[in-house]
Structure 1
């Protein structure tokens, strides 16, 4: 199958309910959708922290933002019933592993019950044509073998975040067969690799930590430098989600898989330390990173995804290799630090990606 790309014409004038639009990945998605002419209806908590991509670009957009907690079933139901979305992309989540240890109840309430609330609301609307629930590459029962996971592998998780996302997968599959049994709305899940890119200012994430260390003139500390992850640019994962939703809407024969991995080629798996070395060199940081020797919550050392099914089913495959991904990421932060407008900067990189993947 030929490479399937995101089709601007498909998204023009579509009403898209995007949850988590104030997050790093959500903001990139919202900007791309609006650039293509979509009507973006955002549902999210307000952005956290002093910096956020959403906060830097919101004045340049026409998003209709509903700042609510998806754990609030009544408010979420009111938004869904009043906005009548055509397509739903669910990204809202408590997405940090270390925070999940500190706040396990919040993590399960947001990631599992929040998703159940959304699906329950969607089951009572007639406007929706397809819905995609974004989970994580960490939904698999991981024995640290390093073998790339395929969609039929056992789900599981040894930490609150991973297990909450695995539970989200199970809940989505169950509700799609029960609440939606008399409907023709395709409900699917997407599992993406470790996403990086400009505009991420979250805590406990590698690239933002290095950028902050560079700004402060301090060495960055790494918790697990030998851990391997399926690194990919944010636009790669978002292109997968949008391509998947396009196909779900056009899947008249109901033949598409209901869960897909989106990740880099197997040869593109690097350790945290390797990525840190390359990014520090790009930021012209002279000091070496330091090992964080304090006691840390346990995280899996090896993690890789097999995205072969996404290629077979959609024609989707990762286009930007690690070098390109890191170049685009570092370029964004450098330009932002030099005072460039975040909105124009982000749109420029979206346009670059569109040209290279058309």
Structure 2
């Protein structure tokens, strides 16, 4: 997989031209740091100026050759042009996403990159539609695009420029395998979710969810939680949705609501049970290594060159701080091409053996035939 990392101050146009002239490169997967405003402007019209299939997203940080980068743009040149579908209206309650999904399985597509606007409100409905349509026969990896400003904005790159409140599905015929782990541990609970509206938990038991959360977390965190410091504290205390005989699905609460609820990245079903989780750097780093091992455990057909892509949650980076370098080193493999990917706002994965899910605070490692 050809790649070009364009730093701030340099132009993406030159790098795109180089990739266009590179033998076998027919498409470009663009991973853009949210700080790279000039690159976003350049890429807005690039799709109409090149014969390359162009798609991608904006993310808080990038992973470039095994190193986290807060600036610049990573352009991945693909030899197999994917079929790219843009899903509209990802916050529209009337939208039926199944109607927008293409027929992929009968045409031999095996692995798909899925990027969503992280601040759209119906990502879970899209995930269900994807699973109902493709089951476990399609390997899926990707995550949420957007900014840590927590404001929705155009963040998905198509041939028509930047778009928001939607999703990109870039399907390839490449063989792949995906590993998913998080490493967070139960700290308090379980609590029954007695009130929830989409991604807002309103009640835990008989109490407002925010009150229960503060009562549990404040003594351990050693600070009083309010709206101003909530995200800073909550990055260390996510919620964990219970699943039968499987690792919990992490939900990242990112702000309290005015009426005492907790707004999360991803839905929390009413009637479910959640724990408040807590981690330590060692358990998170170990889990990322387990995700990489799971992704590499199955030999891909053909046994040829392969690429490793890492979609990891930005809140894991904020939690691990300088120790995040160890997580990257744990995931990297000298036998693969250099590690590339993005630090996302929510992760999407289906290993081809399990239910497709929207995750938070989770490490998703994909190994695919060199594209």
Q: Is TM > 0.5 for Structure 1 vs Structure 2?
A: no
**Larger fraction in helix:** 1
**Larger fraction in strand:** 2
TM-score by length of 2: 0.28
TM-score by length of 1: 0.28
